[in-house]
């Protein structure tokens, strides 16, 4: 691939101006966009095509990038190297970003940058939770992207007018779409976001249909969809490491593990509010770590017996709890081992110095 026009990949005046102000007189230093991040290795796209790149300075660790490590979606300046890896010199100011707190060193970790739209993906069949959607919206506005609400799996729901009504109350000025990746319903209306040089991120809990939607928009299978039985609505968490996905010419979806995790952190925080009645009951259980299974003095089971708590609701509570826990633990394990490796590397370098 050669002679790429980076503008088609979102390189707009906002970034161009930054570069102009730097007055660089080296012809080999060019703007590029980060499309993949591996341990020390990056993949960037510039006018010279797709290339491998490394950070300037130390191969392993670089203080000058401490707070500004490039992330997927970033526009950067690279020194073009026809013989090998390009060298990343500078991260340009971002127009939007999602970040989360790194659990190891409590630093901000940016998980996606420079997207235009934030698709808030909510499944109609069981995921609908207005409080959570409100938080997603707040998150999206804060990120600098434009939120769009997508209600998925509308083939499973004959009447969703009530959901739309509820959404209209909280989502001022935000476009709301009901779609089905199975029947294709509503997909055409989303096409206005699938434009050249636009970048999207998808925010939403596991199993709501983010991968399916991406595939449907692309018109081909780019992402693996894990089939679940609709009767138990459980999401699968086998999402592998993907990064920038090219849906159509110059239209991109950022899908990083960190981005997926955002939906989950939020789901956990949302547990309390969503099921505040059950959490409240649980306060009265004899044991503070009661699992509401067979422990004596369980207030939740008592409520179930007395029918003051519906079995259906309790089942949903357990479902969400299980989903969130499972996914969180997996992500945490991954994160820990990644951070452990990074620390090991830093230690080694200190040693050598």
Ligand X SMILES: Nc1nc2c(ncn2[C@@H]2O[C@H](COP(=O)(O)OP(=O)(O)OP(=O)(O)O)[C@@H](O)[C@H]2O)c(=O)[nH]1
Residues belonging to the binding site are 152-155, 204-212, 285, 290, 292, 298
d(CA 308, CA 302): 9
Q: Using CB under 5 A, which of 73, 264, 292, 323 touches Zn ion? A: 292
Closest CA to 207 of 272, 136, 152: 152
Binding residues for ligand X, how many (CB under 6 A)? 23
Nearer to ligand X, 121 or 300 (CB): 121
By a kind-dependent CB cut-off of 5 to 8 A, residue 153 interacts, out of ligand X, Zn ion, none, with ligand X
| Torsions phi, psi for 244 (to 5 deg) | -95, 125
CB atoms under 10 Å from CB of 257, counted, come to: 17
Q: Contact, 10 vs 83, CB < 8 A? A: no
Compute the least distance from the CB of residue 265 to ligand X, in Å: 14
Footprint on residues 197-256 left by ligand X (CB under 6 A): 206-212, 225-228, 235-237, 239
Per CB under 5 A, the segment of 28-36, 204-212, 260-268, 284-292 that binds Zn ion is 284-292
Report the run of H or E that residue 155 belongs to, with start and end: none
In 3D space, the residue among 142, 143, 141, 121 whose CA is nearest the CA of residue 132 turns out to be 121
Binding at 285: pick from Zn ion, ligand X, none (beta carbon under 5-8 Å per type): Zn ion
In this structure, the number of other CB atoms found within 10 A of the CB of residue 304 comes to 17
Q: Scanning residues 35 to 74, which ones bind ligand X (CB under 6 A)?
A: none
DSSP 252: E
**Radius of gyration over alpha carbons of the chain, in Å?**
23
Footprint (CB under 5 A) of Zn ion, residues 70-129: none
132 is an interface residue for ligand X by CB under 6 A: no
Q: Which residues pair with 87 in a beta bridge?
A: 54, 79
> Which one of Zn ion, ligand X, none interacts with residue 298, CB within 5 to 8 A by kind?
Zn ion
Stretch that binds Zn ion, among 186-194, 228-236, 255-263, 278-286 (CB under 5 A): 278-286
146 binds ligand X (CB under 6 A): no
What is the Cα–Cα distance from 135 to 36, expressed in whole angstroms?
28
Site residues (vs ligand X, CB under 6 A):
152-153, 155-156, 180-182, 206-212, 225-228, 235-237, 239, 260
Site residues (vs Zn ion, CB under 5 A):
285, 290, 292, 298, 300
């Amino acid at each position: 691939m050669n002679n790429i026009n980076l503008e088609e990949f979102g390189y707009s005046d906002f970034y161009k101006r930054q570069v102009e102000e730097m007055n660089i007189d080296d012809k080999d230093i060019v703007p590029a966009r980060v499309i993949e991040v591996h341990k020390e290795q990056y993949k960037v796209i510039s006018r010279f095509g797709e290339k491998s790149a490394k950070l300037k300075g130390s191969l392993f660790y670089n203080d000058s990038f401490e707070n500004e490590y490039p992330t997927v979606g970033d526009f950067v300046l690279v020194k073009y190297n026809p013989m090998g890896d390009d060298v990343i010199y500078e991260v340009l100011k971002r127009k939007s970003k999602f970040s989360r707190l790194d659990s190891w060193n409590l630093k901000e970790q940016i998980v996606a940058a420079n997207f235009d739209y934030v698709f808030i993906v909510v499944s109609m069949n069981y995921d609908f939770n207005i409080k959570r959607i409100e938080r997603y919206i707040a998150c999206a506005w804060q990120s600098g992207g434009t939120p769009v609400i997508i209600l998925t799996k509308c083939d499973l729901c004959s009447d969703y007018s009530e959901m739309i009504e509820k959404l209209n109350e909280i989502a001022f000025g935000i476009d709301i779409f009901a779609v089905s990746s199975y029947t294709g319903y509503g997909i055409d209306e989303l096409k206005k976001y699938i434009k050249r040089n636009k970048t999207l991120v998808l925010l939403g809990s596991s199993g709501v249909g983010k991968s399916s939607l991406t595939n449907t928009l692309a018109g081909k299978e780019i992402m693996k969809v894990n089939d679940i039985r609709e009767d138990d609505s459980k999401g699968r968490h086998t999402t592998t490491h993907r990064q920038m996905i090219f849906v159509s010419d110059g239209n991109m979806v950022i899908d990083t593990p960190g981005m997926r995790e955002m939906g989950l952190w939020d789901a956990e925080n949302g547990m309390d509010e969503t099921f505040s009645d059950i959490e409240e009951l649980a306060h009265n259980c004899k044991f503070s770590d009661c699992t509401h299974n067979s422990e004596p003095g369980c207030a939740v089971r008592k409520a179930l017996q007395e029918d003051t708590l519906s079995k259906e609701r309790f089942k949903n509570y357990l479902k969400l709890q299980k989903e969130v826990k499972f996914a969180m633990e997996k992500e945490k394990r991954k994160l820990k081992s990644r951070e452990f490796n990074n620390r090991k590397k830093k230690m080694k370098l200190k040693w050598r110095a």
